[in-house]
């Protein structure tokens, strides 16, 4: 089956595959690496403009490594899952110190770098060297689960192992670069999560899910879990010049390294943490609550707009910045900050 599968897939790819994506032009290990990391949690249409901007700002590994993390996160702002940007920056510095600024071309060495898992490592090797390496991203999981009726949620160990075994069996020895792109394309353009275009699929005659009218059952959905709801209050502290106080979060944990509004349920106590006396407050206005969702929980945010009569002379030792919306600094902002700045 492996030979016929890859042969048929490549015939389809030659006619109908995507051949002009930004990272397919002028292929280099660095460009492939950046694109694969961006595509870990993001669809192609969304990632493409961010890829172009990122490569323009950081055209090489050494430029990425020498940049400040603030500039890296600022360039990534809006793409989400910021750990990917932090890992790119960490890995770039490791590459400069251990590999003379070059990406190693073995799956095991790539996996040892921050933010690179088995599938991303396989894609980099396959696309850059055309050597046999296996990938298993979300699109590929969906194609294989449907075509071969592989039961279970792909996030479970048993199902994941079954999918990896099948992916390894089907990966050919020749044209691995094209095969890698082809199987991702099939999942992205035809074998989509909803309303798959089975009529134009090269495997409709063999696809078990299609023949048994069960495409909607494969792959199995993640078992439902009720996400807990956490709450926080964000203080939008504005000085007379229209600048807003932002605090840099710790480099690890939620929104690591990004800049956000100070948080605290008691307004006066939070202001005192920044050496701001309540007598400097001109007005307070509570804004509408909104919800920001993460993978494992929802965060319910209550914004309070605090206007000051004067800018404090000192703010203590906290990493802060007075952010001007009209002349924005090149720093990475959290999603809620971006949203609230637009509302202002």
Q: Annotated active-site positions, please?
A: 36
Strand partners, 283: 307
Nearest to 261 by CA among 279, 243, 275, 277: 243
Answer whether 94's CB lies under 8 Å from 101's CB: no
- Per DSSP, helices labelled H in 17-129 are 29-38, 44-57, 61-66, 69-76, 83-98, 107-111, 118-129
Tokens matching residue 315: 């703010």
Answer whether 105's CB lies under 8 Å from 64's CB: no
Whether the CA torsion 170, 117, 31, 105 is positive or negative: it is: negative
Phi, psi of 244 (to 5 degrees): -115, 140
134: Cα within 13 Å, side-chain hemisphere: 12
* Alpha carbon distance 187, 143 (integer Å): 6
Strand partners, 298: 229, 293
Q: How far is CA 202 from CA 1, 37, 67, 331, in A?
A: 14, 28, 46, 46
* Alpha carbon distance 6, 1 (integer Å): 9
Place of tokens 């090797």: 125
At 216, is the secondary structure helix, strand, or coil?
helix
Tokens matching residue 107: 């799956």
């Amino acid at each position: 089956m492996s030979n016929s599968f890859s042969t048929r897939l490549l015939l389809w790819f030659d006619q109908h595959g995507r051949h002009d994506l930004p990272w397919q032009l002028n292929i280099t290990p660095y460009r492939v690496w950046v694109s694969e990391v961006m595509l870990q949690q993001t669809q192609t249409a969304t990632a493409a403009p961010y890829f172009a901007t990122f490569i323009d700002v950081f055209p090489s590994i050494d430029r990425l490594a020498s940049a400040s993390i603030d500039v890296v996160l600022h360039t990534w702002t809006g793409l989400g899952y910021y750990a990917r940007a932090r890992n790119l920056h960490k890995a770039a510095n490791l590459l400069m110190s251990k590999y003379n600024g070059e990406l190693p071309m073995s799956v095991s060495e790539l996996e040892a770098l921050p933010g690179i898992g088995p599938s991303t490592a396989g894609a980099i090797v396959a696309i850059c060297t055309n050597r046999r390496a296996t990938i298993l991203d979300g699109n590929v999981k969906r194609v294989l689960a449907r075509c071969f009726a592989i039961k279970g949620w792909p996030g479970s160990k048993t199902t994941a192992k079954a999918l990896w075994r099948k992916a390894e069996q089907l990966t050919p020895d020749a044209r691995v670069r094209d095969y890698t792109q082809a199987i991702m394309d099939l999942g992205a353009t035809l074998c989509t999560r909803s309303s798959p275009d089975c009529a134009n699929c090269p495997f409709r005659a063999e696809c078990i899910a299609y023949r048994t009218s069960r495409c909607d059952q494969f792959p199995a959905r993640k078992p439902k879990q009720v996400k807990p709801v956490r709450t926080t209050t964000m203080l939008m502290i504005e000085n007379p010049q229209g600048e807003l106080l932002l605090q840099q979060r710790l480099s690890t944990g939620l929104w690591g390294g990004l800049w956000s509004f100070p948080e605290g349920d008691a307004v006066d106590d939070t202001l005192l943490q920044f050496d701001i006396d309540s007598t400097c407050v001109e007005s307070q206005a509570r804004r509408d609550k909104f919800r920001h969702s993460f993978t494992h929980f929802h965060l319910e945010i209550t914004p309070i707009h605090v206007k000051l009569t004067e800018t404090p002379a000192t703010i203590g030792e906290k990493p802060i910045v007075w952010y001007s919306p009209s002349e924005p600094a090149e720093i990475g902002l959290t999603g809620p900050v971006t949203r609230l700045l637009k509302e202002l």
